[in-house]
A and B are shown apart, each in its own frame.
Chain A
Amino acid sequence: MSLTQLLFYIMAFIVVASALFVASSKNLVRSIFMFFITLFGLAGLYVLALADFVAVTQIVIYVGGVLVLILFAFMLSGKETLNVLQQQKSKFISLSKLPAILLAALFFVVMVNVILKTDADNVYWVKMVTGANRQIKPNDIMTDNIGINLMTRYLLPFEAISILLMMALVGAAHLARKERGTV
């Protein structure tokens, strides 16, 4: 087993285990900080998929932005969020969770089945690329290519997403502002 494969399995284990902890933890703060580890593990998986720029972006935006926002919301919404959690502390596996677990597990079985049936490594365009030896290699530098593509081939989605981002920020600021007069 090569080193990259070993690293992949370690990273995959970290990601899935911490995600399971996030899903099962009763303590919201602890689950948010475990989500932090999930995101770092995912960045490691992106590096192993030879997408280093996406991995760095993941760390900067998710860990630096999204997670801090979630922590903000948690701290600003105060004690009430914790009370909701404490009510359901008593039972380990409550009956109300059973349908959700069943649904998620069955969905997982279906998805794994689909993935194994698809056999993505033998899809014809993947075969074509690997046959011509044109996939990304570990020593290729893709970042400048991504930049060039972003400004030429994907200019329209780039502009669309910039407008959408501006709309979202304006909307968020509008929603979060203090209303005068009324509550």
Chain B
Amino acid sequence: MITLTDFLIVSAALFCIGLYMIISKHNAIQILIGIELMLNAAILNLVAFGKFDKIANSGQVFALFAIVLAAATTAVALAIILNVYKKYKTIDPRKINNLKD
């Protein structure tokens, strides 16, 4: 029997790894991967609790919504990264400190 606490601890570990990546990385793509890790931790929580909702399936349905949201986020973020690269020739977030004009 896998308890709920096991799932929660795995997802907490994933969340913290994502947090570390977001804080420490110098590369926008790696920061994006960190965000994806954090989102996945949240989805894992939703799915783990969804096991106890057989009638309404709220956990699993909202996990699906979160996955779709993550895909949309990534598409927009990558478009932004490509534009930033075109303008600055770098994707290090701490070197990008100007607005458009």
Q: Quick check: A62 and B60 within 8 Å, CB to CB?
A: no
CB within 8 Å for A176 and B82 given contacts A31-B33, A80-B89, A100-B23:
yes
A22 to B49, CA, bound (A): 27
Main DSSP-derived SS at the B contact region: helix
Residue of A nearest to B90 (CB): A80
The listed residue (B17, B23, B54, B68) touching A61 by CB distance below 8 A is B68
Q: Quick check: B20 and A145 within 8 Å, CB to CB?
A: no
Residues of B within 8 Å of A76, CB to CB, are: 82, 85
Residues of A within 8 Å of B52, CB to CB, are: 125-126, 129-130, 135-136
Q: Quick check: B67 and A16 within 8 Å, CB to CB?
A: no
Residues of B within 8 Å of A175, CB to CB, are: 76, 79-80, 82-83
Residues of B within 8 Å of A65, CB to CB, are: 71, 74
A22 to B65, CA, bound (A): 25
B99 within 8 A of A: no
Task: Number of B interface residues at 8 Å Cβ cutoff, please give it.
Answer: 76
A115 to B53, CA, bound (A): 20
A 137-170 contacts with B by CB, 8 A: 140, 142, 145-146, 149-150, 153-154, 157-158, 161, 164-165, 168-169
Residue of A nearest to B59 (CB): A51
A57 to B73, CA, bound (A): 17
Interface residues on A, range: 35 or more
Q: Could you give, for residues 1-25 of chain B, a 1 whenever the CB lies within 8 Å of some chain A CB and a 0 otherwise?
A: 1111111111011111111110110
The listed residue (B13, B29, B60, B92) touching A146 by CB distance below 8 A is B60
A161 to B40, CA, bound (A): 18
Q: Quick check: B33 and A22 within 8 Å, CB to CB?
A: yes
The listed residue (A49, A78, A104, A168) touching B76 by CB distance below 8 A is A168
A50 to B62, CA, bound (A): 15
Residues of B within 8 Å of A54, CB to CB, are: 43, 47, 50, 60, 63-64, 67
A66 to B32, CA, bound (A): 11
A22 to B20, CA, bound (A): 11
Q: Quick check: A16 and B37 within 8 Å, CB to CB?
A: no
Residues of B within 8 Å of A45, CB to CB, are: 7, 10, 44, 47
